[in-house]
Structure 1
Amino acid sequence: MLTQEEFAKKARHKLTYLLSRREYSQKELLQKLVSDDIPVDIASDVLAQFSEKNLQSDLRFAESVVNSAYNKGKGPLHIQHKLQANDIEYALVSSQIRDDNFDWFSLALKVRCKRFGNEIPNDWKVLQKQKRFLAQRGFEAAHIEAAFSSLE
């Protein structure tokens, strides 16, 4: 059995390794440490130290989620669900999502055209299928409607 200091050292090494690759939320990191048989109290303490030193930041994680989702053609609702799953408040990045750097309307149009082409379908079922596709990618109703009305 490892001592408390050995568990803390193991946790620091694991966090350093993980955070050198990409940003993680505190929830994700805590789960990874606990799954590595590190006691929750020690894992929480080490994670708090990393957070205090700004080596781990939920804000940076949230920003990376926004940028990654946008680049993958996912909408703001997808981002909101991903942040909720990681216990991060949507308010941290809501202003960034509404920023002019992210044009969700043109992204919805681009994603729709890439998948289905430029033609707007005349068949109601096909139209609904395309709208469902955009909704499943996390676009809001206004974005979806704009993706169809801008081609008319």
Structure 2
Amino acid sequence: MNVSHQMPAGLTRNQSLVLSALSRANAPLSAYTILDQLREEGFRAPPQVYRALDKLVEMGAVHRLESLNAFVACRHPDCDGHETVAFAICDKCGMVAELSDDDLAHHLKGLAKKTGFVLKKSTVELRGTCASCHTA
């Protein structure tokens, strides 16, 4: 899967290594999987990975998938400009598709507004079966 983002400027060495590991991955990775993959690069403890992930998530270069407790590199151009990001996660093969839809964002804002909540950002995770697994 190709990443649509350029490597963000000003990344630390650890941030670059973590983002590269996620960009090469064909599925979401846990922080501990990233740590295992980067041990030869000098990573020794989980805080090194978590600090890099926190900054990459803040920058919009990486997304955290709550239901999987894992991370993926952002694969959607201009994602940092979107208030709502959705992910379709296949329960069979682990494929994750990043989706963006202005209608969904508008609807979620409206739902939040009805309760007096001011929505800043939302992440939606859709779980099911991808087209390839569904037809198999």
- TM-score (normalised: structure 1): 0.33
Select the structure of larger CA radius of gyration.
Answer: 1
Which structure dedicates a bigger proportion of its chain to strand? Answer: 2
- TM-score (normalised: structure 2): 0.36
Which structure dedicates a bigger proportion of its chain to helix? Answer: 1
